[in-house]
Amino acid sequence: MYILTGAAGFIGSCMLSKLNQEGIKDIVVVDDFSSPDKNLNLENKSYLEKVDREVFFAWLEKYHKDVEFIIHLGARTDTTEFDVEVFNKLNLNYSKAMWNACVEHSIPLIYASSAATYGMGEQGYDDSHEIIEKLKPLNPYGESKNDFDKWVIGQEKQPDFWAGLKFFNVYGPNEYHKARMASVVFHSYKQIIDNGFVKLFRSHKAEYEDGKQLRDFIYVKDVVDVVYFMVQHQKHSGIYNLGSGKARTFLDLVNSTFAAMNKDPEIEFIDTPVDIRDKYQYFTEANMDKLKSIGYSKPFAILEDGIREYVGEYLVSEKHF
**What radius of gyration do the chain's Cα atoms show?**
19
Q: What is the DSSP string of 107-143?
A: --EEEEEEGGGGTT-TT-S---GGGGGG---SSHHHH
Catalytic position from the list 150, 178, 199, 246: 178
CA distance 182 to 176: 7
Q: Based on the residue annotation, tell me whether 246 is a catalytic residue of this protein.
A: no
Our separate counts of H helices and E strands in the chain read 12, 13
Decide if 141 is catalytic. Answer: yes
Closest by CA to 227, choosing from 81, 16, 8, is 16
Q: One of 118, 125, 141, 310 is an active-site residue; which one?
A: 141
64-to-8, 54, 108, 141 alpha-carbon distances in Å:
22, 17, 12, 30
Tell me the C-alpha to C-alpha distance, in Å, between residue 50 and each of 56, 222, 293: 10, 26, 36
Handedness of CA 201, 305, 177, 119 (dihedral sign): negative
Instruction: Give the separation between CA 166 and CA 72, rounded to whole angstroms.
Output: 13
Angle between helix 250-260 and helix 184-195 axes, rounded to 10 deg = 50
Question: Residue 69 has what DSSP assignment?
Answer: E
Are the C-beta atoms of 67 and 104 separated by less than 8 Å? no
Handedness of CA 294, 297, 302, 305 (dihedral sign): negative
Residues marked as catalytic: 141, 178
